[in-house]
Amino acid sequence: MLSFFTKSRIRGGVHAESYKELTASDEIVTNFPLPKTLYIPLQQHVGKPAEPLIRVGDKVLKGQLLAYSQGMISAPVHAPSSGIILDVNDYPAPHPSALPIRMMVLETDGLDEWFTSPVVDDPFQLSPEDISLRVGAAGIVGLGGATFPTAVKLNMGRENKIDTLIINGAECEPYLSCDDRLMQERAEQIIDGVRLMLHGMESDHAVVAIEDNKPQAFYAMQKAARPYSVIKVIQIPTRYPMGWDRQLIRYVTGREVPVGCRSSEIGVTIHNVGTAHAVHKALRYGQALVNRVLTVSGGAVGRPMNVEVPLGTLISEVFAFCEVKSEQTARIIMGGPMMGESLPHTCLPTVKATSGLLALTESELKSNDVHPCIRCAACVTVCPAGLRPLDMANNIRMNQLDAAVDLGLKDCISCGCCSYICPSNIPLVQYFKYASGEVVARQQAQHKSEQTKRLMDDRNARLERIAKQQEEEEKARIAAKVERERLKAEQAAQEVSV
């Protein structure tokens, strides 16, 4: 075990001011008033959107299946409270574009009446496949923000016979403390979830990794994990982005995930602490994933807190509860301040990915005053992926996207370290996101033009072939006619001679 401390290596990263103290010392608020209306997107996960099962006007209970998963990678969506489905239609998505996506609108009846699926007394008696099925049916996705369907990950872990399950309790994003509070307050449930996951993946070694700026969470988790020798709780250095799965895997196991591979292919799977907690609730109580703990923080928030809200609650209602001062709010962010997305307004629902909602004041934001690059190479130093952001940005600015791709554009994880550190305030990540989108668009355009060209070529070939065929038929017809006339003439000649 000593070897993993000597082998492990952290690359890049920044020491950001954490601002976690705004919310980390108070208990999770659980008395959030039930909203009158919930907007439940049918896609809250990576993969295909869920397909609606309930019709407008149907009455549903809390936790009842609203839309089922379709395809290999997808997740179902459940009713976050009891009530009546008012509408299934397109509403603005919690995304920087706020473009409409399909959502179900639920009018709550205030009873908050649960619909729980049947549970077994001892879930450890279930087969590992059954664990995956139940986790999948509960709509559980990675709650760290990636929202990859957890059941798919459990299956991959089992198929690849992983040797280590890492539970990500790093929570390296500044401001966020929901995982910290969850670990402090619900350590035993999380550890139970971890054990269930181990069972589901037929693995017998789990490491819970917690950044060393959360000693209380560490002690709580260590205490809860003490009876189980298969679970080891460790402290890791506080350094953003320690919670990047691949950085954490390298730190904990010394292994590096090759580009284009899933971590399970090298024997490791990583899940968030919140996910483990959701697994516990699904298997012990038959409760689907219908609410989550999120951090509401930032300089413009009057009552910063960690609060458990039903999925589909409008951000405006969360902000009203937390007394956000709109006149001071310069930017609304979903997620953390490093990788989170800025939102144009607050009439957008919270979703499974919403680990935090920040209302930041102008003074907290990175300045927009862009200066020329002085090649200080701070971005190279902090890049955890080993890229050279300054050169990539230069190429993108000159519209040389291929050169940027050669420099590793596709290996960028948008962690934001380069933008954070840049003394010239160059929005590097914005360049990379733009370029990545543009590269895909160009590839699609090229693909399309190639397809069009192929169709044209096919058509030309076909027309040519038809013309040739017609020509040949014509020739044959003429030949036949000539033949016929010849025969006729011969016949006539014979008749004459006879």
Partner 1 sequence: MMVNMKPRSGAHIGAKASVSHIMWQVMLALTPATVFGLWLFGWPAINLFIVTVLSAIFFEAVCIRLQGRPVKPVIMDGSALLTAWLLAMTLPPWAPWWIGVVGSGLAIILGKQVYGGLGQNLFNPAMIARVALLISFPIEMTTWANVSPLFFSNSPGLIESWHITFAGLDNLDASTGATILGYVKTEFSQNHLLATSLKEYSGLLNFIGWARGSLGETSVILLVLGGVWLMRQGIIQWYIPVSLLGTVFLLASIFHVLDDQHYLSPLMHLGSGGVILVAFFIATDYVTSPNTPTGQVVFGAGCGLLIFVIRTWGAYPEGSGFAVLLMNSATPLIDYYIRPRIYGRDRQGKPLEIPKS
Contacts to partner 1 from residues 246-305, by CB under 8 A = 246, 255-261, 265-267
Q: What is the DSSP letter of 240?
A: B
Site string for partner 1, 323-342 (x = CB under 8 A): -x-x--xxxxx---xxxxxx
3-state secondary structure 22-57: HCCCCCCECCCCCCCEEEEECCCCCCECCEECCCCC
Shortest gap between Cβ of 100 and partner 1 (angstroms)?
Answer: 16
Taking each helix axis from N to C end, the angle separating 273-285 and 150-159, rounded to the nearest 10 degrees, works out to 100
As a whole number of angstroms, the distance between CA 363 and CA 298 comes to: 11
The answer to whether 307 contacts partner 1 (rule: CB under 8 A) is no
Phi, psi angles (nearest 5°) of residue 174: -60, 165
What single letter denotes the amino acid at residue 199? H
Shortest gap between Cβ of 255 and partner 1 (angstroms)?
Answer: 7
Closer residue to partner 1 (CB): 30 or 430: 430
Site string for partner 1, 397-436 (x = CB under 8 A): -----------x--x--x-xx-xxxxxxx-x-xx--x---
What single letter denotes the amino acid at residue 479? A
| Cis amide linkage into residue 241, ω under 30° from 0 | yes
Closer residue to partner 1 (CB): 119 or 266: 266
Closer residue to partner 1 (CB): 63 or 416: 416
Beta-bridge mates of residue 90: 102
Q: Are 104 and 97 in contact (CB under 8 A)?
A: no
Shortest gap between Cβ of 114 and partner 1 (angstroms)?
Answer: 32
Size of the site for partner 1 (CB under 8 A): 75
The sheet with strand 51-52 has its strands ordered as 51-52, 65-68, 77-78
Residues 6+ apart with CB under 8 A from 443: none
Q: Tokens 């090759």 sit at which residue? A: 258
Shortest gap between Cβ of 450 and partner 1 (angstroms)?
Answer: 26
Closer residue to partner 1 (CB): 153 or 246: 246
Q: What is the DSSP letter of 10?
A: -
As a whole number of angstroms, the distance between CA 452 and CA 446 comes to: 10
Shortest gap between Cβ of 326 and partner 1 (angstroms)?
Answer: 4
281 CB neighbour count, 10 Å cutoff:
20
Using CB under 8 A, which residues numbered 4 to 33 contact partner 1? 11, 14, 16-17
Closer residue to partner 1 (CB): 126 or 156: 156
Using CB under 8 A, which residues numbered 433 to 492 contact partner 1? 433
The answer to whether 234 contacts partner 1 (rule: CB under 8 A) is no
As a whole number of angstroms, the distance between CA 68 and CA 115 comes to: 16
**β pairing state of 164-169 and 206-211:** parallel
Shortest gap between Cβ of 24 and partner 1 (angstroms)?
Answer: 17
Shortest gap between Cβ of 419 and partner 1 (angstroms)?
Answer: 4
Using CB under 8 A, which residues numbered 364 to 403 contact partner 1? 364-367, 371-377, 380-381, 383-388, 390-391
Shortest gap between Cβ of 417 and partner 1 (angstroms)?
Answer: 7
Closer residue to partner 1 (CB): 133 or 266: 266
3-state secondary structure of 176: coil
Closer residue to partner 1 (CB): 140 or 338: 338
Using CB under 8 A, which residues numbered 163 to 182 contact partner 1? 174
Binding segment (CB under 8 A) for partner 1, from list 68-76, 143-151, 356-364, 452-460:
356-364
Shortest gap between Cβ of 194 and partner 1 (angstroms)?
Answer: 23
Using CB under 8 A, which residues numbered 180 to 219 contact partner 1? none
Closer residue to partner 1 (CB): 11 or 232: 11
Shortest gap between Cβ of 229 and partner 1 (angstroms)?
Answer: 23
Closer residue to partner 1 (CB): 225 or 301: 301
Using CB under 8 A, which residues numbered 85 to 144 contact partner 1? 96-97
112 torsion bin: left (phi>0), alpha (psi -120 to 50), beta (else) = left
As a whole number of angstroms, the distance between CA 48 and CA 102 comes to: 12
Shortest gap between Cβ of 371 and partner 1 (angstroms)?
Answer: 5
As a whole number of angstroms, the distance between CA 80 and CA 34 comes to: 10
Shortest gap between Cβ of 16 and partner 1 (angstroms)?
Answer: 7
Q: Are 27 and 181 in contact (CB under 8 A)?
A: yes
Closer residue to partner 1 (CB): 194 or 315: 315
**β pairing state of 305-310 and 291-297:** antiparallel
The answer to whether 316 contacts partner 1 (rule: CB under 8 A) is yes
Closer residue to partner 1 (CB): 52 or 408: 408
As a whole number of angstroms, the distance between CA 72 and CA 170 comes to: 29
